[in-house]
Amino acid sequence: MLNQFTSSPIFGFTLCIASYLVGLGVKKRFNYPIANPMIIASIIIIGILVIFKIPLENFMTGGSFVLMFLAPATAALALSMYRQLEIIKKNLIPILVGCIVGAVSALVSIIALCRFFGISDEITASLIPKSITTAIATELSSQLGGLSPVTVAAVSVTGIFGAVASPYLIRWSRLNNSIAAGLAIGASSHALGTTKAIEIGEVEGSVSGIAVGLCGIITVILAIFL
């Protein structure tokens, strides 16, 4: 009976939505960066799957529908970019240079660390796109011979960490430039980090959204030479 219920698409989809709504409620109650709705939702979902011994395949039957909204949600970032169009035009060169440096740094660092720890080529290929949005990362990972599930997990962890840590890092580094802050967040922690950048300020959110797209494109181009 339980297996029949959990294998229904309604189960996975509803669990995702309900868990995220709980996360939003906790975020409103405790307004700290660590109280991230994504983290809370992930903990709730994992906890339910483990406690009730629900197969991941059952959850993904409905949970995969949530992925359908990933690309439209990322594209919706264009609205905040349009609102800050003049600022973006004036700082176009620094933004381009920042995205190139960010993409190169992400690639070099992950490859160097994987080589240092003796990680296999398959896992290395899965981790290379960790700092770009999932919609691009999964395709790039497959082309490089990586494992898509590993890539999705790496992208999620990277984004969640960026969303949680970015306010503290900006404060500790005394980074007062909104454009630099937005670039750093978007280039390192893609769309999930951008949600936090939008909370910090509209300029940060706009530039972070641009960084998500540009870094994704640059990473794909750089991957051709790997």
CA 197 to chain CA centroid, nearest Å: 12
Left, alpha or beta for 172 (phi > 0: left; psi -120 to 50: alpha)? alpha
Give the confidence band of 1 by pLDDT, cuts at 50, 70, 90.
Answer: low
Tell which wins on pLDDT, 65 or 10. 10
Mean pLDDT over each residue of the chain, to the nearest integer: 87
Q: What's the token pair of residue 138?
A: 């999964």
* 74-109 confidence digits (pLDDT tens): 677 777 777 788 888 899 999 999 999 999 999 999
The Cα 110–Cα 113 span in angstroms is 5
Least confident of 73-77, 108-112, 167-171, 209-213: 73-77
The Cα 208–Cα 80 span in angstroms is 10
Name the DSSP class of 35: S
Helix, strand or coil, per DSSP, at residue 129:
coil
Task: Break the chain down into helix, strand, coil percent, rounded to 5.
Answer: 80, 0, 20
Number of residues in the chain: 226
Tell me the pTM.
0.78
pLDDT at 158: 92
* 188-201 confidence digits (pLDDT tens): 998 888 888 888 88
Half-sphere exposure (Cβ direction) of 193: Cα atoms closer than 13 Å: 34
| Residue 19, amino acid | S
Interhelix angle for 202-223 vs 178-200, to 10°?
A: 110
